[in-house]
Structure 1
Amino acid sequence: MTRILIKSKNDLFSKMLNQVLQNKGYDVFVSDIKTSVMHEYRKSKPDVIIYNSSQNKYVLEDLLKLQPFKPIVKVLFVLEHGTTNFYKDLAYANGADGILVKPFDMDTLINLLEKILQQRKHMRKMG
């Protein structure tokens, strides 16, 4: 079963996303954005980490810590409407595998998640 870690500051969004992903058959873990990503990574061993945060400081620090685990773990960002291209480019440059900007529908998120998981599967076959 695919394991997904949601790191978020927004409890309502996390709860909704958690429910949608569980209904799709994913094994989901939710963590506060300020909790150590390495602690959560070791505890839940996720295939994908979904970040929902406008606190770019924590997210970019986490991306740097996750570099040794790429491409094993994939990272998807959910950004606030109005996020500048600077942050999007910075996220991709530091290892993001996908970005969604609010508002979006859950089907869009699921489609991107499945695409990222296919890429992960392909990379594991090659590696």
Structure 2
Amino acid sequence: MNKKVFVFDDNTDILELCTIILQDAGYDIKTSSTSNHIIDQVMAYTPDIIFMDNWLPDVGGIDATRELKSHDLLKNIPVIYFSANNDVKSLADQAGADGYLSKPFDIEELEDIISKHLAM
């Protein structure tokens, strides 16, 4: 069965790019441009890994990640923090994310971080 990736980003270009790359690599992918009702969104799809942008409308990436990490059923899904911000590492730490990926990223970096977190 294909591994499922959920990408949260308010930039539709990034969502399209991720979709193309990850489908090519054999993953199932769902995307969302908002992290509102994050628990409901993630419960409905039960992904194997989540990419979370920092700048999301309404509920930002940090709060959305914290919500996931405090949820008993969802806290073990790896969340990769995803930002063009220079402080992406410290933002990921604040959010309690499992890893981070700086934008712009290359295809190999994206695939590497997924296989690293899904191999566990």
- TM-score past 0.5 threshold: yes
Hey, what does 1:17 align to over in structure 2? Answer: 18
Structure 1 residues 23-58: Cα deviation after superposition (integer angstroms, max 9, x where no partner): 111110011124321121111111111123434961
Hey, what does 1:48 align to over in structure 2? Answer: 49
Letter in 2 for 1:58: G
Hey, what does 1:5 align to over in structure 2? Answer: 6
Letter in 2 for 1:83: N
**Mapped partners of 1:13, 1:46: distance in 2:** 19
CA contact (8 A) 2:4 2:48 kept: yes
Q: TM-score, length-normalised on structure 2?
A: 0.84
Letter in 2 for 1:24: A
State whether structure 2 residue 86 is matched by structure 1 residue 83: yes
CA RMSD of aligned residues (A): 1.9
CA contact (8 A) 1:9 1:53 kept: no
**Mapped partners of 1:99, 1:11: distance in 2:** 20
**Mapped partners of 1:58, 1:116: distance in 2:** 23
> Between the two proteins, what is the percent identity of the paired residues?
24
Unaligned runs of 5+ in 1: 120-127
Unaligned runs of 5+ in 2: none
Letter in 1 for 2:83: L
CA contact (8 A) 1:33 1:53 kept: no
1:1-127 equivalences in 2 (<5 Å): 1-55=2-56, 58-67=60-69, 68=71, 69-71=74-76, 73-80=77-84, 82-84=85-87, 88-119=89-120
**Structure 1 residues 35 and 94, CA, compared in 2 at 3 Å: closer, same or farther?**
closer
Which segments of structure 1 move beyond 4 Å, counting only runs of 4 or more? none
Once the two structures are overlaid, the 10-residue window that deviates more, 36-45 or 10-19, is: 36-45
Letter in 2 for 1:70: K
**How many pairs were matched up?**
115
**Mapped partners of 2:36, 2:93: distance in 1:** 22
Deviation at 1:102, TM superposition (A): 1.7
Q: TM-score, length-normalised on structure 1?
A: 0.80
Deviation at 1:118, TM superposition (A): 1.3
